Structure formats: structure tokens, C-alpha cells
Structure 1
Amino acid sequence: MVAQGGVISTSSCFLSLPRHCRPSSTKPPRLALVAMSDDPIREWILSEGKATKIIRISPVGGGCINLASRYDTDAGSFFVKTNRSIGPSMFEGEALGLGAMYETRSIRVPRPYKVGALPTGGSYIIMEFIEFGVSRGNQPVLGRKLAEMHKVAKSKKGFGFDVDNTIGSTPQMNTWTSDWIEFYAKHRLGYQLKLARDQYGDSTIYEKGQRLIKNVGPLFENVVIEPCLLHGDLWSGNVNSDKDGEPVILDPACYYGHNEAEFGMSWCAGFGGAFYNAYFEVMPKQPGFEKRRDLYMLYHYLNHYNLFGSGYRSSAMSIIDDYLRMLKA
């Protein structure tokens, strides 16, 4: 996750763990003197990007997985992320998600331009550079525009996405599935629980989580669930505003799912009452929303446990235990 516009995002949702990401270096990048054909980023900017010269390349801080840079040119600015160890598939998933959200013409996202492989290994993505404003956006406007995206962007294929992608750096499986409960149980909670067992030997959380998965049906009684396009990783670091104060969302982990799953990162997104009121004016609240809210948070707590360690285990276990008591499972 990385910020654009030179803004470094911070959030209290992350614990102060040694393994947590640190802001990327603010030292200027060294510009290698290479032929244009050896630098596909420059090559694209100076051809399809319609620039005739690159004025400067500046680092953009805030990244913990990828390096980010701003390319200023005589044709405008571009935002570029690179990863020296991961192939193009990660950025291809991001580009497809950004493209899908961009096409809804609802909430502003950076327009993706190009994904490719680096000659020395790794990959890159070039996208629109958005100059951020001074605030994180108007909460009611954010709620309304997010709901508009959920309302207009539906899938006839069911729940999932055309490609697998990542949530942070964790693989996210998006195999098309006709039933939401099955999809969420297998490709979201089930995958994370198995990862915790394999990575930490945590058989307790795995076994209790499996019991929960098998008993979640009552939480969805009398609920109409449509496959809506979700950003998928909507926390405060991925929400900002442009210079006009319009909300901008970035760094997605998109898939088509139950719209309520979008609020799974609400524990560190800062959504208030004004946000939810505006959202539910467009997408009416379904029966039992409050009972399902923690179920969707659980996926992200498990992912943080798997990414950053045991500091997040107790939150995940508490949610599982509460649901097992509620469902008498």
C-alpha cells in the first residue's frame, strides 16, 4: 500500500510491531544511464504517454511492498510503482481492479495505463497521478459515491473476479462461485485460517474458525446478496481526496462480493455515522447488518495476523469465539 501525491498515510489500526512496514526512503532515486529500450517505463511515457521529455523523477513515500515514484513530464505527471522481486501478475490484478472501478464513473480512482515486466526482474505499473488535497475527503460524499459504485457495478458471473490478486502481499483467491456464503467461507476465511495453521502451527484458531464457517448460515437469513464490485481493502491509507475535495480510493484488492464486505476494514478506516447514513441512502441497509459486520472484519484481522504476527491474533480469536457463542456452534 502506498500513497500518491507525496502524502504518507499513517493509521492507528496497525500495531507497533517490528515486522510492520516502514515508510520508504526519501532519498532521490539514482537515474541509470541506459538506452530507452532497456527502460520500459521511460519508453512508454515517451511514446504512448505522449511526452517528449521527462523533467524529473521523485520518490513517493509510504510504500511497504512496492517502490513508488512520480514522473513529471511535459505531458503531465504519471505515478509509477515498481517491485523488483514480483512478476507482473500482482500489478495486472491491481490494474484490472482500478480499470473496473474507473469504468463505473462513480468514485474517483487512478486510471491505470500500463503494466509490464522489468528487464532486470520484477514488474511495474504506470497510472494517472492524482494530486491530493489537504483532507481525506468528505465522509457523506465518500459514502454516497462508494454506494453508487456498488449499485451500478454487478457481475453476472457470480462472486469472484477474473484474476486472483493480493490483499496486502497475501494471495487472494477469486475463483468464480455462485454462492456468496460458499465463496466467503472458502476463499476468504478458509484460506486465511489455513495460512495461519501452516505458518504458525495455530491449530486452535484453525479448528474454531472451521466450526464458525460451517455455521454462518443463520447470519444471512432474509438477506438479498448481489455480487457488487468491491474495492476490497478500504482502510484510511487507501482513501484520500483530490485538490477539489472529491474522494479518491486507491490500491484496491477488487472482487465482486456482498457489498457489506467492503466495511471489513472499518476498524481502521474511520467511517463515521455520516458516512454510513449517506451510503445506506443509496444502498439500503439489509436485515442483520450489525450481526454480520464483525464477520467481515474477521477476514482482515486474520490477514493482519498472517502478515504482521501475533499482535492481531487476539482480535481474530475474540470475533470467532463471540460468533461461536452467538450461533451456539
Structure 2
Amino acid sequence: MSTEGPAAEGPAAAAARLTGRRVTGERRLSGTLSEVVLDGGAVVMVKRADGPGAVRAEAAGLRWLADAGTVPVPAVHGDDDRWLVTDRVATGRPDPQAAARFGRDLAGLHAAGAPAFGAAPPGGPADAWIGAAPMRNTPGADWPHWYAEHRVLPYLRQAVDAGAMASAGAAVVAEVCDRLPELAGPAEPPARLHGDLWSGNVLWGADGRVRVIDPAAHGGHRETDLAMLRLFGCPQWDRVFGAYREAAPPADGFAARVPLHQLFPLLVHTVLFGGGYADQAVAAARAALAG
């Protein structure tokens, strides 16, 4: 085991320290992610924090999702302020049966609920992350006002301040926030959300089960997970959503509300990457207003 401190050690040393097992191999996948082989042949994923509190937020989110007993997630083998060690998922190809089961499992995850909109997972920090962007979990009782105040407006302000979005587009998004109570659809209880459910965080397991990774878990509106899953294209989407709809039908008008829920991740992408995401966010805002 390495004698280096946590701030100086690498993925292999971190895995050995956090699991208490000897490391026999390592493969770097990116600047922050590695596969590490432990004695006995088990392979784990070792991830370095993107920012303060990121590991604690992700680990707490994974455990909270796992506690629902619905959508499988990689088991957490160890974590600290800098490093997260989880199972590696052996992946296969998207499968219709797996897609249908995922849809049912996702409905069950949402039904597991949360104490409030914006509630952080137990043990998770209020100052969390969505990808490489900070995300604050502040509880609220009313979804339309909470969504505007804590999921749309903070990223809109950052996008405008950074020059990534023009004032005319920002005005359209602000109008959505003003009209959210009438655009939000029927009131629903807080759902237990993955929170960053784009297709890259959906792994089609070799065992025929879908697993989800890299959550930005919090209490929110279940349609937000569904809209994000649809945003960048999900394999077998029709089967996933068809099974979800059979298990827990969204309220009437869901299709018209999809752009409203996609506004949050599009604004996050605008802040992180700029480019055409601002145009997509404004287009989503216009679509939400049009109903």
C-alpha cells in the first residue's frame, strides 16, 4: 500500500487504501478515471474528484439509488474527499428486454420518493455537482418555483455573465420561469431522481440488466429524468418509455412538457461548453411556452 497522502497518490494506491486489497494492475481511461485490478482478479473503477464535495455527492447518490432496490448501480467499495472506488460494469448491447425492465425499474426508482424537491441524498452535501458544473441542492416544497430558482435561473445567469447567451434569448428563458406554475402540469410528489440521466450514464450490462452511473441525485420531478434520457438519444427509447408508461403513466401533456424539463441540462451544457447549446436552450424555452 502506498505511503503517500490521499492528495498525492494515484488511482492504484487509492484503490488499495480504500479497499484494503492489493492492486495487481491499472489502466488509465482518462485524466480522472482508471480501471484497477485487485488481487483475485476483481476489476474496479477508480474516479478522481472533479471538485470539492464531488466524490461525497456521487457516493451518497449511488447509495441512495441502490437503497430503492430498483435500477441497479455499481456498488461503492470506498470513497473519501478525493477518490471513489466502484464496481466495473461489464457491458453488452442494448436489448429490448433489458430496455423494458429498465423502464419499469426507473418507474420504481422515482416512486421511492424524496423528502423534498431539491433534497440531497442522505449524507450527501448540499453543494453537489452535475457533471463538471456545481449544483446546489436546496429543498423546496413547490416544484415550479424550486425548479426556476434552483435549476434554471442560476445557470441562465452564468450563461449570460459568460457571454454564452444573448439578452434576447435570456428573456425567453426568464419568461418560462415566470410562467412555470401554469406550464408545469399537475402537481406531483418529489421523486428520487438520478439527476443526470443522459444516455452516456446508462450502461447496458452484459448480464441483461441496465445500470446507471455518475448520478447527480436529488429530489425532483420524475419527468426531468425522462426528458434528459430522451435529450441526447437513448437506445431502445420507445421500449424504455413504453414500459415506464405502463408502470407509472406520466400526467397528460407530458410530451409538451419535455422541452421544459430539458431546459435545465441544456443550460448546464451552455455554461460548460457554450456553442450551440445556448440556441438549443432558447429553442426549448420557446417550445415550452408554446406548449
Q: TM over 0.5: same fold?
A: yes
- Say which SS state the counterpart of residue 35 (structure 1) adopts: coil
Task: Provide closer, same or farther for how the CA distance between residues 184 and 57 of structure 1 changes in structure 2, counting only shifts above 3 A.
Answer: same
**Retained in 2: the 8 A contact 1:109–1:248?**
yes
**Which of 24, 28, 35 is matched with 2:3 structurally?**
35
Q: Check if 1:216 corresponds to 2:180.
A: yes
For 2:84 and 2:38, locate their aligned partners in 1 and report how far apart those are by CA, in whole Å: 17
- Say which SS state the counterpart of residue 86 (structure 1) adopts: coil
Query: Match of 1:49?
Result: 19
Query: Match of 1:143?
Result: 103
**Which of 264, 274, 287 is matched with 1:299 structurally?**
264
For 1:47 and 1:168, locate their aligned partners in 2 and report how far apart those are by CA, in whole Å: 26
Q: CA offset at residue 86 of structure 1?
A: 3.0
The code of the aligned residue for 2:24 comes to I
Matches within 5 A, 1:67-216: 67-75=32-40, 76-83=42-49, 86-87=51-52, 89-117=53-81, 123-135=82-94, 138-151=98-111, 153-162=112-121, 163-200=126-163, 202-216=166-180
- Say which SS state the counterpart of residue 301 (structure 1) adopts: helix
Q: CA offset at residue 246 of structure 1?
A: 0.6
Q: Max radius of gyration: which structure?
A: 1
**Retained in 1: the 8 A contact 2:170–2:282?**
no
Residue-pair matches, total = 280
- Say which SS state the counterpart of residue 113 (structure 1) adopts: strand
The code of the aligned residue for 1:92 comes to R
TM-score if structure 1 supplies the norm length? Answer: 0.77
Matches within 5 A, 1:221-232: 221=185, 223-232=186-195
Structure 1 unpaired stretches of 5+? 1-32, 118-122
Structure 2 unpaired stretches of 5+? none
For 2:171 and 2:47, locate their aligned partners in 1 and report how far apart those are by CA, in whole Å: 39
Matches within 5 A, 1:57-72: 57-60=26-29, 63=30, 67-72=32-37
TM-score if structure 2 supplies the norm length? Answer: 0.87
**Retained in 2: the 8 A contact 1:143–1:275?**
yes
Task: Provide closer, same or farther for how the CA distance between residues 313 and 48 of structure 1 changes in structure 2, counting only shifts above 3 A.
Answer: closer
Per-residue CA shift, 1:173-212, capped at 9, x if unaligned? 2101111111111111111111111111632222221122
Task: Provide closer, same or farther for how the CA distance between residues 47 and 298 of structure 1 changes in structure 2, counting only shifts above 3 A.
Answer: closer
**Retained in 2: the 8 A contact 1:37–1:43?**
no
Task: Provide closer, same or farther for how the CA distance between residues 35 and 136 of structure 1 changes in structure 2, counting only shifts above 3 A.
Answer: farther
The code of the aligned residue for 1:80 comes to V
**Retained in 1: the 8 A contact 2:227–2:261?**
yes
Query: Match of 1:273?
Result: 238
The code of the aligned residue for 2:3 comes to A
Task: Provide closer, same or farther for how the CA distance between residues 218 and 47 of structure 1 changes in structure 2, counting only shifts above 3 A.
Answer: closer
Query: Match of 1:243?
Result: 206
For 1:214 and 1:47, locate their aligned partners in 2 and report how far apart those are by CA, in whole Å: 50
For 1:54 and 1:133, locate their aligned partners in 2 and report how far apart those are by CA, in whole Å: 26
Per-residue CA shift, 1:193-246, capped at 9, x if unaligned? 11111111632222221122111222234x141111111111121111222111
Q: CA offset at residue 47 of structure 1?
A: 6.1
- Say which SS state the counterpart of residue 276 (structure 2) adopts: helix
**Retained in 1: the 8 A contact 2:201–2:214?**
yes
For 1:311 and 1:296, locate their aligned partners in 2 and report how far apart those are by CA, in whole Å: 18
For 1:126 and 1:72, locate their aligned partners in 2 and report how far apart those are by CA, in whole Å: 12
Task: Provide closer, same or farther for how the CA distance between residues 94 and 136 of structure 1 changes in structure 2, counting only shifts above 3 A.
Answer: farther
- Say which SS state the counterpart of residue 127 (structure 1) adopts: strand
